[in-house]
């Protein structure tokens, strides 16, 4: 019988690894060619891994929550017809566990070593030959579970692997007396948390509902906190008259959709103005690496999008300055549509050099967005509203109804001063206000 190795496929130039979030097929299941076998997740995008062949899944080499490198074999599929024979590996006592056993129970090896030999809790758990996923290792580290304790846990995963539920159950039921002879001082030292890092206690009443964050929300939370801790955020605001843009879009949106097969929204018009302003002020198209400033060659605009589940994702329009309005509209609609459908590829969210977020979609007049690291600027587009405004004419000033909006520019004050940050958002406003109401499609 032929055996096919299902490998983690390449998902983009900048994506080197992914986490297995769910197995859609179990050992023994029949698989058709192009049928999804498992679900994986990168930093922001969830996707499926299909089988290249038809056959029977005979082995899963990784478990849920395991981190896998691109190109690694993740499953074995039998491709020829025949009865399924499960693969059973002979259980071999790992050397690492044997060494721990000697320390804990010297009689097992005939040694006279003391039972009280301390176990190094600073270990990264690489001493154990038992397979441990990154998630299990992190939980063990946070809870002060030693290598020897892990070795003693009876895993319920494939081939006895310790799963997330296994270690959480162990921690829950663990008594004050450790499973091995470990000095109390060492345990306290390993799990001690500085008082400044401890979260404030949260009061929970009987009617409150406790919901664990999903994987993406945990990542977003981490990114947001890290961004605020990394950059010195400062904002500049400017009001923009977009009456000409509103009039032009109303006049051309039907013809545009009929000709191009694409809806004409305001977003590509704003993106076009931002790309032009970045060419005028390349100091906004940089990133920071320690004490070094990296000037980006390409202008890749991130477009923040809210997903149906409430999470946020930022697909990227590559080389945005090279697109005309039609090309920009197609790119915006393509990325936005695939984001809502959960069809983005990992590479679609990589390589951004500046980000735009439309807070006006939800009715906000303006906002103060957090930087998308390692970028140094992000622009928030406020809601377009009809406003009374002073209109200057050769015959004098008068009050008229205009379509206006606010632009909120957040930037990294470590490398972008007020002059650059303010001048940049002012240039975006100038491009928008100068929009030709008679412009051809």
Whole-model pTM: value is 0.65
Structure tokens that stand for 106 in this block: 């010297």
Closest among 3, 75, 77 to 33, alpha carbons compared: 77
Least confident of 62-76, 185-199, 310-324, 410-424: 185-199
296: region left, alpha or beta (phi > 0 left; psi from -120 to 50 alpha) = beta
pLDDT tens, position by position, 128-170: 545 566 667 777 877 878 776 777 787 776 556 777 778 888 8
289-297 contacts, C-beta under 8 A, 24 or more apart: 289/374, 293/415, 296/353
Confidence bin at 402 (pLDDT 50/70/90): very high
Strand order in the sheet with 17-23: 46-50, 36-41, 17-23, 67-69
Is residue 281 pLDDT above 90, yes or no?
Answer: yes
Pairing of strands 301-303, 385-393: unpaired
Nearest 5°: phi and psi at 234?
-145, 155
Distances (CA, A) of 204 to 13, 207, 208, 218, 265: 45, 8, 6, 21, 44
Confidence bin at 310 (pLDDT 50/70/90): confident
pLDDT tens, position by position, 321-338: 999 999 999 999 999 999
Structure tokens that stand for 96 in this block: 């690492």
Average pLDDT, stretch 251-272?
Answer: 95
The whole-number pLDDT of residue 21 equals: 87
Among residues 289, 412, 413, 440, the one annotated as catalytic is 413
Least confident of 99-113, 139-153, 252-266: 99-113
The whole-number pLDDT of residue 18 equals: 85
Among residues 34, 120, 124, 417, the one annotated as catalytic is 417
The whole-number pLDDT of residue 430 equals: 98
Average pLDDT, stretch 293-321?
Answer: 92
> Cis ω on the peptide bond leading into residue 374 (within 30° of 0)?
yes
The whole-number pLDDT of residue 403 equals: 97
Q: How many CB atoms lie within 10 A of CB 122?
A: 8
pLDDT tens, position by position, 44-76: 677 788 888 899 999 999 998 888 988 899 999
Least confident of 10-19, 280-289, 336-345: 10-19
Distances (CA, A) of 234 to 39, 367, 378: 39, 12, 11
Rounded to the nearest integer, the mean pLDDT of the chain is 81
413 is catalytic: yes
Q: Is 378 exposed, middle or buried (0-12, 13-18, 19+ CB in 10 A)?
A: buried
Is residue 272 pLDDT above 50, yes or no?
Answer: yes
381/342 Cα distance (integer angstroms): 24
46 is catalytic: no
Is residue 112 pLDDT above 90, yes or no?
Answer: no
The whole-number pLDDT of residue 400 equals: 94
């Amino acid at each position: 019988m032929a055996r096919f190795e299902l490998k983690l496929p390449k998902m983009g130039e900048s994506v080197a690894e992914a986490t297995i979030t769910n197995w859609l097929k179990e050992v023994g299941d029949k698989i058709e060619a192009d049928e999804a076998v498992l679900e994986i997740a990168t930093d922001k995008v969830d996707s499926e891994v299909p089988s290249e062949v038809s056959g029977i899944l005979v082995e899963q080499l990784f478990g849920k929550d395991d981190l896998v490198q691109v190109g690694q074999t993740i499953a074995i599929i039998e491709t020829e017809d025949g009865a399924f024979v499960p693969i059973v590996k002979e259980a071999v006592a790992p050397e690492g566990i044997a060494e721990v056993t000697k320390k804990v129970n010297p009689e097992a090896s005939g040694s006279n070593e003391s039972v009280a030999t301390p176990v190094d809790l600073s270990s990264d758990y690489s001493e154990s030959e038992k397979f441990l996923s990154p998630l299990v290792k992190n939980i063990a580290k946070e809870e002060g579970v030693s290598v020897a304790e892990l070795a003693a846990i009876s895993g319920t995963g494939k081939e006895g692997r310790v799963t997330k539920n296994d270690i959480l159950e162990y921690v829950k039921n663990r008594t004050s007396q450790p499973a091995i002879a470990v000095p109390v001082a060492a345990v306290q030292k390993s799990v001690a948390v500085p008082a400044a890092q401890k979260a404030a206690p949260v009061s929970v009443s009987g009617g409150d509902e406790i919901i664990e964050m999903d994987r993406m929300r945990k990542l977003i939370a981490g990114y947001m906190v890290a961004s605020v801790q990394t950059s010195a955020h400062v904002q500049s605001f400017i009001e923009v008259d977009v009456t000409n843009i509103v009039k032009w879009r109303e006049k051309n949106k039907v013809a545009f959709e009929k000709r191009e097969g694409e809806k004409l929204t305001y977003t590509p018009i704003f993106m076009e103005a931002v790309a032009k302003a970045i060419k005028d002020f390349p100091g906004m198209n940089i990133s920071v690496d320690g004490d070094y400033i990296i000037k980006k060659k390409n202008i890749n605009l991130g477009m923040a999008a809210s997903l149906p589940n409430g999470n946020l994702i930022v697909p990227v329009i590559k080389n945005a300055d090279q697109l005309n309005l039609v090309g920009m509209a197609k790119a915006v609609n393509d990325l936005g549509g695939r984001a809502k459908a959960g069809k983005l590829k990992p590479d679609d969210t990589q390589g951004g050099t500046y980000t735009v977020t439309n807070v006006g979609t939800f009715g906000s007049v303006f906002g103060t967005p957090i930087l998308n690291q390692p970028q140094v600027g992000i622009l928030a587009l406020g809601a377009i509203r009809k406003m009374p405004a002073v209109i200057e004419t050769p015959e004098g000033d008068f009050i008229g109804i205009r379509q206006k909006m606010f632009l909120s520019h957040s930037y990294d004050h470590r490398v972008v001063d007020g002059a650059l940050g303010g001048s940049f958002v002012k240039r975006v406003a100038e491009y928008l206000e100068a929009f030709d109401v008679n412009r051809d499609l």
